[in-house]
Amino acid sequence: MSFSPDPAEGKRVYDLDREYVFHSWSAQGALNPMCIAATEGSYVWDYDGNKWLDFSSQLVNVNIGHQHPKVVAAIQEQAAKISTIAPQHANDKRGEAAQRIVELAGPNMAKVFFTNGGADAVENAIRMARIHTHKHKVLSTYRSYHGNTGAAITATGDPRRWPNEYASQHVHFFGPYPYRSPFWSDSPEQETERALQHLEQVIQFEGPNTVGAIILESVVGTAGILVPPPGYLEGVRALADKYEIVWIADETMSGFARTGKWFAFQNWAGPARSDRVRQGIELRLRARRWRGHLGRHREDRSTIASSPAALPTPAIRLPRPPSLRPSMR
């Protein structure tokens, strides 16, 4: 990459940021942001010319590297053709991306609802679950993050929730965490058994007729990369079915092949029983998928979600479904 260090420009960028930019979830006065001058592949450069390996892939969202040439070319091509359309219209890119996501998510999955971000998707999933089940309580774990908007931040378990709990009908419970077990368990299997007993008790004490949704990160991200012990998600699936509760799989941080499967829940919970999955890709594109009956129950929309210029990316990143492979046409 051709890039010349420019410390003076770095200072200008730093001063602009400190003067005018409000950063999320931070005490503004304590910030000392690194100024990024260039990015390429797995690396970022600062204005002094230092090259850094982007180990965290920004917020675990630059999955295929910075400025992948195929992504850049596809966005440029689509932006010159159709860059945005309103939600009520049909479009080839939106339809193709939705088809590929549906096929990758597995059987029982029917439709994709594109939103603008993770919290936005969580809000809409919770609303859909409540309307579909006619039950308003939402269960989520203490060790979780689901976004910074009304219901999403109230569903969140971590302390960012505390000054922001304005949404109602949210109940928190303890998820499994074998390393620091809240259930004094001796093994991952025992942790699963006790965590599921605890969840079922919470459902029973809250009232199964009042609980409409359980929202879980399939692999808990921000709270510490907590991988569910064997059998836990299968157990959640069974409890959700038993009490007619919608399971919302928040895969903002774990979806789209980050765990080795296209969606993290597919590692454990069996094919496509999740009520909703979410994708996290480097553009502000989010998808929601529902089992068939939910997809039919209600359609919803967002003002600017899924602009075609954002959609070539999944078209490139996702394997083409067999029906679209040229060799099989």
Ligand X SMILES: Cc1ncc(COP(=O)(O)O)c(C=O)c1O
Least spacing, CB of residue 24 vs ligand X, in Å: 8
- The stretch near ligand X (CB under 6 A) out of 78-86, 118-126, 160-168, 194-202 is 118-126
Question: Does 213 help bind ligand X (rule: CB under 6 A)?
Answer: no
Question: Does 252 help bind ligand X (rule: CB under 6 A)?
Answer: yes
Least spacing, CB of residue 10 vs ligand X, in Å: 27
Task: Compute the distance between CA of residue 284 and CA of residue 58 in angstroms, rounded to an integer.
Answer: 14
Least spacing, CB of residue 256 vs ligand X, in Å: 13
Task: Compute the distance between CA of residue 150 and CA of residue 171 in angstroms, rounded to an integer.
Answer: 14
Strand (E) or helix (H) holding 77 = helix 69-81
Structure token digits, residue 237? 């699936």
Nearer residue to ligand X within complex by CB, 185 or 218: 218
Question: Does 122 help bind ligand X (rule: CB under 6 A)?
Answer: yes
Question: Does 118 help bind ligand X (rule: CB under 6 A)?
Answer: yes
Least spacing, CB of residue 146 vs ligand X, in Å: 5
Least spacing, CB of residue 147 vs ligand X, in Å: 3
Question: Does 119 help bind ligand X (rule: CB under 6 A)?
Answer: yes
Task: Compute the distance between CA of residue 262 and CA of residue 101 in angstroms, rounded to an integer.
Answer: 9
Contact residues for 275 (Cβ-Cβ < 8 A; gap 6+): 129, 240, 246, 247, 248, 249, 290, 291, 294
Query: Within positions 136 to 195, which residues make up the interface with ligand X, using CB under 6 A?
Result: 145-147
Burial class (CB in 10 A: 0-12, 13-18, 19+), 289: buried
Question: Does 253 help bind ligand X (rule: CB under 6 A)?
Answer: yes
Contact residues for 295 (Cβ-Cβ < 8 A; gap 6+): 110, 111, 289
Nearer residue to ligand X within complex by CB, 22 or 205: 22
What three-state secondary structure class fits 266?
helix
Contact residues for ligand X, defined by CB under 6 A: 117-119, 122, 145-147, 217, 221-222, 250, 252-253
